[in-house]
Amino acid sequence: MVAAMVDIEVRSRVPGASGDDVPAVLVRLVGDRTTVRELIRRAVEEQIRELRADAARCRRVLDRQYLSNDDLRAQARTGAIRLPRQAPADPDVTTEAARAHRAFARGTFVVFVGGRQVVGLDEEVTLRPGEPVVFLRLVALAGG
C-alpha cells in the first residue's frame, strides 16, 4: 500500500513583529508521520522557495526567525540588535535548515503540532491535514 501525500500548513510567528514575517507555507509529506528535524527542513525549504524572488527580504525574514540566542546576546552587548547588513546571498537550503535545527535545539523557537509543543529534533510526530504546525520564535521580555 502506498502512503498518501499530506499537505501540512506551517506558520511561523515572531511576537511583536509586524509586516516581514515568515510566510505560511505548505509542506508536502508522504504519509502523516515524520520527525521534527525533517519537518523543520521541509518548512525551511518551502520558506526559501516562497521568499526567493526577493533575496534581501528572504535573508531578513530567515535571520529574524532563526538568529541564535548567542548572536542576540553578542549584539545586545553592543547596545543594539541588528540583522546583518551584508549583501544578501541566495540562501542555501542545507545551510539554512542546519541553522534552523540549531536554533530549535537551543530553544530559539519552539514547534507546536496539533496544539502540543514538541521537544526533540528526532521526535516523531503525526500530522493531520487542516491542523497547522506553528514555529514560534521566543523573544525575551523587556526588562526581564
Which of the pair, 133 or 68, is modelled with greater confidence?
133
Give this prediction's pTM: 0.78
pLDDT (tens digit, 9 = 90+) per residue, 102-116?
999 999 899 999 999
**Helix (H), strand (E), coil (C) string for the chain:** CCCCEEEEEEEEECCCCCCCCCCCEEEEEECCEEEHHHHHHHHHHHHHHHHCCCHHHHHHHHHHHHCCHHHHHHHHCCCCCCCCCCCCCCCCHHHHHHHHHHHHHCCCEEEEECCEEECCCCCEEECCCCCCEEEEECCCCCCC
Would the pLDDT of 41 be above 80?
yes
- Percent of the chain exceeding pLDDT 90 equals 42
pLDDT (tens digit, 9 = 90+) per residue, 49-91?
888 877 777 777 777 777 766 666 676 677 665 555 554 567 8
Would the pLDDT of 123 be above 50?
yes
